[in-house]
Structure 1
Amino acid sequence: MSLQLMQQSVQNAQRHIDAQAPAVSKSAMRQRYHFMAQCGWINDPNGLIYFRGQYHFFYQYNPYGSFWSEMYWGHAVSDDLLHWKYLPVALAPSESYDDHPQGGCFSGSAIEKDGRLYVIYTGTANHGNGFEQTQNVAWSDDGITFTKYEGNPVLEAPEVVPHDFFRDPKVWEHNGEYYLVCGAQKDGKAQALLYCSKDLLHWEFFNTLFESRGEWGYMWECPDFFKVKDKWVFLCSPMGAGERTTVYFVGDFDYETGTFTYTVTGEADWGFDFYAPQTFEDCNGRRLMVGWANCWDWMPFWKDWGPTCKEGWCGSFALPREVTLAEDNTLRFTPIKEVQSLRTSPRKEAEISIAQGDFRSFPVGDGVAFELKFDIDLRASNADTFTVVLRKGAEEHTDCTIDLRRAEVRIDRNHADHWSRGISRSALRLKNKEHIDVDIFSDQSSLEVFVDGGSVVHSLNVFASSSDNGLGFQCNGGNVQLNDIEGYGLNM
């Protein structure tokens, strides 16, 4: 009966999606080259994996409305991480452990074992004790249709962990054994719990992998743990850690004791709209990261679900990014090279000089969906600030400022669209450097700014109209020299 209920829920969802998708696809604010669901609400990326020659994206999904509610797992596949084929919903609430009407099938991860695709996810329910979260397993032999394990839940919260703070399992394999890290909480402080298994179905607690003493918040959502070169990285979205939306820790891991110690920490993204990223290794050995291009903070404040909600959808994913380790053990995040295949209408200049107070227009593509990259020549520049004015209209504009005097990057969207607001800020290393590279990606409703080889990234949503498409440069307190300027329209 449970299997039939799951299948019926999947079929019902698919009928609704098929009915709504054609109209939603024509919405004015829909992204042009970023991943989105066909309709409805999308948040965390789940189960990212390269399986049987294709990239699989699963995602938190409410197909029935453009707001967060009962969660399903949406599903899509791609050959290039850009062009996607939507598959039927993979997981639907159907069991006593995942049927909460304001919960359902929460986030998780995927792994291949003996040619079968397994997903491990958080189920949410209420058995009279509030919001209960458990870890559960489902599998698929064809990569499309999933069966939930009859022995679910495979993990329940330890007694010392509140049962509503036990979620988002990330699984990996090492020497024939399986490991799982799960977000938790103890005494009001964030924890990452480590479990091990020989078959993905029967799990034992190993150790507390990593924990906060209060300085890193009260809960780590969507924890990820992976190796880059000879270092290990713990990645998460911390709750209760101020403006931080996604942070990383680089250090060492001991498989004998199950402990992680870090020496370097940083921000994966300094913008307002990058949350709950998940990484995976693809067939080329790249460590790729995909994040939700949104965040929770603005939603309660505005008491709605954003300006796209009226169009029947909400949420998209940021550009997939390759994660690499620098010599100083900080991380670099750079757009995948596949995006270059979308480039059209190239515009290139060897150099541009911008004088104090001047505005230099620099049209690229249609001014909405484009990539703009350049180097700031620090040896030939003496300005205090340099600004790229993006999505400029009669009154609207978003300003990307490289502050050379204060060594800071600022993205100001207070005048972007009469809805968005805020200025994101990050420090910028300028000492002993001769140039700073900048790579900007604009889509219908988002901006992503990569600076200094991806050591600094800002992702923000901007809901400007297509007519707000002006683009140009200006500086203050001196002059700026730009080298190797390249602009491209981006077209699917």
Structure 2
Amino acid sequence: MNDPNGLVYFDGEYHLFYQYYPHGLEWGPMHWGHAVSTDLLHWQHLDTALFPDEGGMCFSGSAIVDHNDTSGLFDGKPGLLAFYTAHRVTGDGPEDYEQEQCIAYSRDRGRSWSKYAGNPIIAPPGFRDFRDPKVIWHADSNAWIMALACGQSIRFYRSANLLDWTLASEFGEGQGRHTPGPWECPDLFELPVIGGEGSRWVLVVGVGAGDDSWGSFTQYFVGYFDGERFHNDNAPEQVLLMDESRDFYAIQSWSDAPDGRRIAIAWLNNWLYANQIPENGWRGAMSLPRELRLVANEQGVRLAQRFAAELNSVLDPAPQSAEPTPLSRGEQLQLTAQSGPTRGRLNLRLAPESQVELSLLPSNLPELTLQRNDQGLRLRHQRQGENGNVRFDRYYPHDFTLALGEGDAIQLEWFIEHGSLELLVNDGLYSLTSIQFDTLLNSAGHCTTLVVTAGEVLVDRLEIQSLKA
């Protein structure tokens, strides 16, 4: 499986659809898989929702609740509408295809789906990459809005009835980062600004992988959407990343989430090696659900993330913890956790010219190095691994450093699961998500180890929580 699709909350359930190929362990003709949850953590698999047909494969998209039967498809009652891209192969070459936008609808809480007889709702435009519709309601202009990935830009369409759509504007030329790969999987939402005034709109854009590149990644823009155009608050060349590591892609947020929360989830992978990662009868996984918020700081208005609060319900309420401790070069702290998934938290302060190595996975090799020098705070992330596949062995290992600004304090929160490491830095202002394959995670226990390799540090907090028995 790959991209999350059609995230919508309806009648007490979170719906998660996803790009799915049920007949193999590598990418194939795309279906929409389907699961539902009442708490974002325990999921029930349902029957496959959408299947390829003569119109093409069912590529990524979104879903909404048609509360007032605006589409006329629900006999005056609320229903679910899914917007997807039909991808149709037109020849034998890799560039021989066309894409169009379609609708499917459900009158029974998402348990069965019918494709709209009037598809496509937006016909092929004459260029190839035209996909991934994200549909929202824009109250200020009293219209439905569709954000659509179109090559190296995002187009915005408007509709009054969810069936007939008119092009309003295009955003992207000269904005943010571009690669040889297309822009993909847009999302669009408004959030209040914590520590600032009013609200801002966020436009999320996936950027496709190119060979000899970082691979697929996700950028975002902060600004104002007036119902027709997106206005970027930042300089066009400013690049804002939702995740600084390798494996947090195709991010989508839930429509109609309760209490006004903006909850998002991502596919944990990278297209440079997605078809080559180790498998165990399946390939592909989602991140933990995360709650998004906008915060104002000295850099401007930035997107921040937190693991969804529901995670606390499945963790042991009594974490293993270490007392606040000053440490000097050569000294270390170590906590032993039970086997299996864990959440960890670390707050520390580094004296000038200090360095700490942190091992989170059972192999006890340091994945993270925290450093303070005359350039400020730095976080280095290393990943090793090979499986004999030339492409995997080339692209999977990495070693990069992230600048965290000035000051002396670093706050980390992470979740280690079977095959992934999700790391949030400084209350989620930075996110680093990577798939990890460690066969020792299911052993009798493993250690989180902190070693001071230069200078002095003060560990204010170090704790590990395992899942409840």
From 229, 232, 244, the equivalent of 1:270 is 244
Name 1:22's counterpart in structure 2: none
1:261 aligned partner: 232
AA aligned to 2:313 is S
Q: State the match for 1:458 in structure 2.
A: 432
CA distance in structure 2 between the partners assigned to 1:338 and 1:213 by the alignment: 36
* RMSD of aligned alpha carbons: 2.2
Please list, as runs of the form range in 1=range in 2, the aligned pairs for 1:321-470 lying within 5 A after superposition.
321-327=290-296, 328-344=300-316, 346-366=319-339, 368-378=340-350, 381-393=351-363, 397-405=365-373, 406=375, 407-414=377-384, 420-429=396-405, 431=406, 433=407, 435-466=409-440, 467=443, 469-470=446-447
Question: Match of 1:484, as an amino acid?
Answer: R
1:398–1:414: 8 Å Cα contact kept in structure 2?
no
Residue 320 of structure 2 contacts residue 335 of structure 2 at CA under 8 Å; is this kept in 1? no
Amino acid at match of 2:143: E
Whether the 8 Å CA contact 2:176–2:239 is kept in 1: the answer is: no
* 1:125 CA displacement: 0.8
| SS state at 1:251 partner | strand
| 1:28 corresponding residue in structure 2 | none
Q: Write out per-residue CA displacement over residues 30-68 of structure 1, whole angstroms, 9 at most, x where no aligned residue.
A: xxxxxxxxxxxx100001111111111000011121211
Deviation of residue 383 (structure 1)?
A: 5.0
Residues 53-100 of structure 1 show CA distances to partners (whole Å, capped at 9, x for unaligned) of 111100001112121101110111111100011111110112x222xx
Query: Counterpart of 2:19 in structure 1: which amino acid?
Result: Q
The Cα shift of 1:240 comes to 5.6
> Residue 116 of structure 2 corresponds to which residue in structure 1?
149
Secondary structure, in 3 states, of the residue corresponding to 1:269?
coil
CA drift at 1:213 = 6.1
Supply the AA of the counterpart residue of 1:426.
L
CA deviation after TM superposition for structure 1 residue 428, in Å: 0.7
* Counterparts of 1:371 and 1:482, CA distance in 2: 17
- Tell me, in whole angstroms, the C-alpha distance in 1 between the residues paired with 2:309 and 2:15: 18
3-state DSSP of counterpart to 1:363 = strand
**Change over 3 Å in CA distance of 1:387–1:441 after alignment to 2:** same
Residue 425 of structure 1: how far off its partner (Å): 3.2
State the Cα deviation string for residues 140-160 of structure 1 (Å, max 9, x = none). Answer: 01121000001111112323x
In 2, Cα distance between the equivalents of 1:215 and 1:287?
25
- How many Å separate the matches in 2 of 1:332 and 1:239? 23
Match of 1:481 among 425, 444, 458: 458
| Aligned positions, number | 424
2:71 alignment counterpart:
none
Q: Structure 2 CA distance, aligned partners of 1:109 and 1:296?
A: 21
CA distance in 1 between counterparts of 2:55 and 2:24 reads: 23
Alignment CA distance shift 1:401-1:415 (3 Å): farther
Who is 1:238 aligned against? 207
Between 207-216 and 124-133, the greater mean CA deviation after superposition: 207-216
Kindly indicate whether residue 137 of structure 2 is the aligned counterpart of residue 173 of structure 1: yes
* Matched residue type, 2:97: F
Change (3 A) 1:306 1:354: same
The residue aligned with 1:120 is: 83
Which range is displaced more, 438-447 or 280-289?
Answer: 280-289
Paired position in structure 2 for 1:223: 186
The answer to which of 233-242 and 147-156 deviates more is 233-242
The alpha carbon displacement at 1:214 in A equals 8.4
Q: Does structure 1 conserve the Cα–Cα contact (< 8 Å) formed by 2:84 and 2:101? A: yes
2:86 aligns to what SS in structure 1?
strand
- Tell me the CA shift for residue 119 of structure 1: 0.4
Partner of 1:92: 51
Separation in structure 2 between the aligned mates of residue 205 and residue 240 of structure 1, nearest angstrom: 27
Query: In the alignment, which of 263, 278, 289 is matched to residue 307 of structure 1?
Result: 278
Checking the alignment, whether the CA contact within 8 Å between 1:154 and 1:201 is kept in structure 2 is: yes
| 8 Å Cα contact 1:97-1:153 kept in structure 2 | no
SS in 2 for 1:330: strand
Paired with 2:173 and 2:187, the residues of 1 have a C-alpha distance of 14
State which drifts further: 76-85 or 194-203. Answer: 194-203
* CA gap 1:415/1:455 in 2 versus in 1, 3 angstroms: same
Q: Does 1:63 align with 2:22?
A: yes
| In 2, Cα distance between equivalents of 1:248 and 1:215 | 10
**In the aligned structure 1, how far is the partner of 2:323 from the partner of 2:265?**
33
Which segments of 5 or more consecutive residues in structure 2 lack a partner in the other structure? 69-77, 193-198
Partners of 1:486 and 1:437 lie apart in 2 by 12
What amino acid maps onto 2:65 in structure 1?
E
SS at match of 1:341: helix
Quote the residue 2:272 is aligned against: 297
Deviation string 1:199-242 (CA, Å, 9 cap, x unpaired) is 11111111114434684235211011111121111111112685
Other-structure match for 1:287: 262
Distance 1:183 1:481, change over 3 A: same
Amino acid at match of 2:251: P
Is the contact made by 1:382 and 1:477 (CA closer than 8 Å) also made in structure 2? Answer: no
Where does residue 45 of structure 1 map in the other structure? 4
CA distance in 2, matches of 1:398, 1:93: 45
Normalising by structure 2, what TM-score? 0.85
Q: Indicate how the Cα distance of structure 1 residues 181 and 334 shifts in structure 2: closer, same or farther if over 3 A, else same.
A: same
Which stretch shifts more, 274-283 or 121-130? 121-130
The unaligned stretches of length 5 or more in structure 1 are 1-41, 99-103
> How far, CA to CA, are the matches of 1:417 and 1:332 in structure 2?
34
Greater mean alpha carbon deviation, residues 167-176 or residues 349-358: 349-358
Are positions 1:133 and 2:102 aligned together? no
* Letter of the 1:80 counterpart: D
Amino acid at match of 2:355: T
Task: Name the SS for the 2:16 alignment partner.
Answer: strand
